[in-house]
Amino acid sequence: MGVTLLVLGDPAEPTLRRLGSLPADVEVVIGADPAAFRDRAADAEVILSWSANRHLLEPVWRMAPRVRWIHSRAAGVDDLLFPELVASPVVLTNSRGVFSPALAEFVTAAVLFFAKDFRRMLASQVARRWDPFDVEEVRGKVMGIVGYGDIGRACAAQARALGLRVLAVRRRLDTGADPFAERVVAPDQRLEVLAASDYVVVAAPLTPETRGLLGERELRAMKPTAVLVNVGRGPVVEEKALVRALEAGWIRGAALDVFEREPLPPEHPFYTLPNVLLSPHCADHTAGWLDRAMDVFLDNFARFLRGEPLLNVVDKKRGY
């Protein structure tokens, strides 16, 4: 007997054509609203959340009592989880690892953007103004990483290659030595890391524990010359406090790929603050990123068919 796979996404998405490579007895049903799955959901065993959130996943999941596995194209799953899914035995996997190298490159670019003051260089170039000035060397500076999972470690590896020292904040502490970070501490010691860092990278997932993890107290603990880089989730940083920090000079600047509300409203002060580098949540949209995400799902689907353990299993209660 074959497997019915429900795919939550736009049927016109080109990458979804690769699902045609699945075995002939796999029935693939693709849709962007619950009505598309009404006839086949009762038989489904697998759901692929390709470009969906909880508002689509939840009603489809309720129509599919036989589902045993849900896969998320994204690494973050905060916008998919709901209480019944968390409490259920359904396995949830994600695309952890696919986006880490690209996000680490964005972090490296942000560090150099502020250290070399590329904004000033570009402004002078446009104005045809010869404006020599001293730039910073990042070697020997400290990068503090809040959220030391796959993305955080990728950032640390590149930071070490540039000669930065690395401190990290992580909920689950390992007992062995870390190959990149000098110290890895628990979240309740984050102020110490923030105070010592020249660049603070936020790479934590969004969970009830991390929402608002960096607020006014944490931002005031940072050096006035420090830069905050957020590639995790927007609500991990209290946005109003960050705006005040940037306007008042508590910190030097921020590079942001994620925000509390997306798309970022056009009236938001981030657009006009001179000490902000803004990326519209696309720092990991490099050539082939969708294909790499599909590779993760197809590999896991083959494991599912063979009855093997799935990769990238999410702890639904912890949210990552």
- Active-site positions read 233, 262, 281
Taking a C-beta distance cutoff of 8 angstroms, is the pair 68, 46 a contact?
A: yes
Helix crossing, 150-161 with 100-115: angle to 10°? 40
The residue written with tokens 């803004």 in the block is 278
- Write the DSSP symbol of residue 174: P
The gap from C-alpha 151 to its chain's centroid, in whole angstroms, comes to: 8
Alpha-carbon distance of 156 to 164, in angstroms, equals: 9
Q: In whole angstroms, how large is the CA radius of gyration of the chain?
A: 22
The secondary structure element, H or E, covering residue 30 is: strand 26-31
Locate 3 and state its tokens: 């497997």
